[in-house]
Amino acid sequence: MRSRRTNGSAGRRKMAAPVRGLQCALTKSVVPPLVVILGATGTGKSKLAIEIGKRLQGEIISADSMQVYRGLDIITNKVTAEERAQCRHHMISFVDPLVSSYTVVDFRDKALSLISFTEELHSRCKLPIIVGGTNYYIESLLWRVLLDTGQEDGGGVKTGGSPDRKVELEKMGGAKLHRKLMEVDPDMAAMLHPHDTRKIARSLQVHEETGVPHSRWLEEQRSQEGGDGLGGPLRYPDPCIFWLHADMNTLDERLDHRVDEMLSLGLLDELREFHWRFNQRRIQENSQDYQHGIFQSIGFKEFHEYLTCPKPTSQEDQNALRDKGVENLKIATRRYARKQNKWVRNRFLKRPGDNVPPVYGLDVTDISQWEETVLSPALKILDSLSKGERPIVEPMRVEGVGQRNKRSSHTCELCDKVIIGDLEWTAHLKSKKHNYHVKKKRKLDPEPVSGQPQGPATSSTLEGLVTGIPSTLLPGSAEPCGEPASPDSSPIRTEAHVGL
């Protein structure tokens, strides 16, 4: 939810000096700065971007995979026409909603051309401000990649990347795809969950088009100068990154209120109209799904029963389906916010090595203190960086930076789960759900429980801890767990994916 503005005259006077200094520095700068604003949904990323853009003559590049599509302005939370009038925005509402093959590479190529264009205008103080949004879209702009479905500057390898071929592979199903990948690229197969159809299909497509295993491409990318275990070198050496964060209980309340606000703005009418214009035809053609294109947006799945209920349905039943959709939307939005924060921690704050830019945290818990705790510190940080000075505010880091999360596969037969990642495996063993199954098993069988360590958590002491996926795993018998490693080129949801 966008916060109420509190632009008092005193605040404007306090910030006038650093703003003038920063504008002057930007004009004379040899290497134009790049500002990236990260944060969970509802933290005010667009608000901060607009306020920085207005003061520093910036231009905003939206890094949101759903906002590129025309339509659904309410559910995708696009900036309003009034807000766009305050500061120029790019990468919003330009893709046909029925296009399902728009990829992160399409986004990246267009966005990079805009950033280059903005750099040419730096004599007029044009500051590129990236606002995300979608995790793998942001990563595609910040880090270079070696393997591509388009031609990457600096020696990238073009693979062709037919979206139709990838969709064709996905139709084979996860289990069959995973077995096929195990044959040609066992290292990659060991890092991917057998239900993760998209990434498995992407890895198979890479092998088909290049003749080289996807895992080998990734290893070569990481071995480049400036690369690391998560990807290639930084594209821009000195980006300024802000992370807007808040107390989660406060943010949950804010997100629930935003859903209510969306409903008052006509969310249900928007979804209903869009459904009848576009989705109804897809259902009739038996091609309806919520895995591609704009239909991935939070809202369609949650209101599916309400939107597709048959005509004779009573008003009481319709209202019940509507209320169920509202509650599901609130739950999905809160869950999505947590995923976004987890990505920032894992991909920035915990990332080992020097291949990660500093991240400056801005606490947006109390929006009544916006200028004091968010806007003013952000402008001062930009002012210091433009002068080559060290900002008073220290960048954020967290414990465990040096700990690498090996992307190995583990099976907990007790919980009937396949888990990707050593850290995720350790967390699973400590989870309430796992311990519940352990206690239940012990009541029935006093022997040591499979999947429960009797000493240090190693492969020699854990039954069910495996490298690779067991042949006994059947579709539907386990659920994915753990964060993916880096994005691929598919038009997918907001997680970072292995590959591009």
Distance CA 328, CA 1 (A): 18
Distances (CA, A) of 463 to 112, 384, 472: 48, 54, 15
How far apart are the C-alpha atoms of 231 and 223, rounded to whole Å?
A: 9
Residue 408 has pLDDT above 80, yes or no: no
DSSP state of 373: I
The pLDDT, as a whole number, for residue 291 is 64
The most confident of 7-11, 196-200, 240-244, 308-312, by mean pLDDT: 240-244
Report the range out of 221-225, 245-249, 435-439, 461-465 with the highest average pLDDT: 245-249
Position 152 pLDDT exceeds 50: no
Q: State what percent of residues in the chain have pLDDT above 90.
A: 33
Compute the half-sphere exposure of residue 158: CA atoms within 13 Å on the CB side of its CA.
Answer: 5
Residue 314 pLDDT: 93
Q: What is the pLDDT of residue 9?
A: 46
- For residue range 20-45, what is the model confidence (pLDDT) as tens digits? 555 545 444 433 468 999 999 999 99
pLDDT for position 493: 33
251-306, pLDDT tens digit by residue?
999 999 999 999 999 999 999 888 887 766 655 555 556 666 777 788 888 998 99
Residue 372 has what pLDDT?
97
Q: Is the pLDDT of residue 62 over 80?
A: yes
Which is higher by pLDDT, 349 or 281? Answer: 349
pLDDT of residue 420: 76
The H-or-E segment that residue 304 falls in is helix 304-308
In whole angstroms, give the CA distance from residue 61 to residue 137: 11
What is the rounded average pLDDT of the residues 199-218?
A: 81
Residues 6+ away with beta carbon under 8 Å from 82: none
Among 300-304, 375-379, 477-481, name the one with the lowest average pLDDT. 477-481
- Does pLDDT of 100 surpass 80? no
| Mean pLDDT calculated for residue range 378-386 | 92
How far, in Å, are 44, 164, 254, 255 from residue 365 at the CA level? Answer: 10, 44, 10, 12
Average of per-residue pLDDT values in the chain: 76
What is the mean predicted confidence (pLDDT) over 215-219?
78
Query: Taking 80 as the threshold, does the pLDDT of residue 495 lie above it?
Result: no
110-119, 252-261, 418-427, 450-459: which is most confident: 252-261
Poorest-confidence range of 79-88, 154-163, 465-474? Answer: 465-474
Residue 178: band (very low, low, confident or very high) from pLDDT cuts 50, 70, 90: confident
pLDDT at residue 482, rounded to an integer = 39
**Cα–Cα distance for residue pair 302/62, rounded to 1 Å:** 25
117 band by pLDDT with thresholds 50, 70 and 90: low
Which residues are 38's β-sheet partners? 243
For residues 346, 351, 357 and 360, what is the CA-based torsion angle, rounded to 10 degrees?
50
Q: What is the H or E stretch that residue 267 is in?
A: helix 267-274
For residues 483-488, give the mean pLDDT: 39
What's the CA angle centered on 34, arms 28 and 36, to 5 degrees?
150
Least confident of 2-6, 55-59, 77-81, 135-139: 2-6
pLDDT at 429 over 80: yes
Residue 150, pLDDT > 50, answer no
**Between 456 and 245, the higher pLDDT residue:** 245
**Long-range contacts of the stretch 362-369 (C-beta < 8 A, 24+):** 362/48, 362/242, 362/243, 362/244, 362/245, 363/245, 363/246, 364/3, 364/39, 364/43, 364/44, 364/244, 364/245, 364/246, 365/246, 365/247, 365/250, 365/251, 367/3, 367/4, 367/44, 368/4, 368/6
What mean pLDDT do residues 302-328 have? 92
Band of residue 499 on the pLDDT scale cut at 50, 70, 90: very low
